[in-house]
Amino acid sequence: MRIDRGTGAVVGLAMLVLGGCGTDGEDPRISLCKHLTADLAGRSVDAAWEEPTVTYRRPEFAAVSVAIAGQPSEGGTCYYAYEITEETAMDHANPLLAYATLPYEMTLNGEPVPADVLEQAVKKQQMAAWPQ
């Protein structure tokens, strides 16, 4: 599943305007992955989290893996598509800037999340980011 660029732009803007879902300067992709993982696992995003890991496979994707502290089997991996055609110094300083703001694929506890379930979870997070 790929989320269209218009939707990605809206979410990206929302994350920039609202400072992302993260705290302490956490990259919005990491924060979104935590929120999606918590939501799909029926857990609180306020749970303690292990340090996230990011694996890059350029120019294809970045995989952000998050896990609930003390529960290594309870975690998710979000896959973000590589989106730029020309890298800049900012992309080298923060490599995740070169990737989409919405995941195109996700696993939860090692199992693939169906595309329609991921799409609904992303939409839910988008709606939560906008004040009503």
Tokens of 129: 């980011």
Mean pLDDT by 10 residues, the chain (132 residues): 51 42 77 97 93 93 96 92 77 81 97 98 90 62
Domain ranges, ordered by start, for the chain: 5-129
The model carries a pTM of 0.78
Q: 75: exposed, middle or buried (C-beta count within 10 Å: 0-12, 13-18, 19+)?
A: buried
User: At a CB cut-off of 8 Å and minimum separation 6, what does 23 contact?
Assistant: none
Question: ∠ CA 109-31-17 to the nearest 5 degrees?
Answer: 150
Among candidate residues 61, 68, 71, 70, the one with its CA nearest the CA of residue 106: 61
Q: What are the pLDDT digits (tens) for 44-82? A: 999 999 999 999 998 899 999 999 998 878 899 999 999
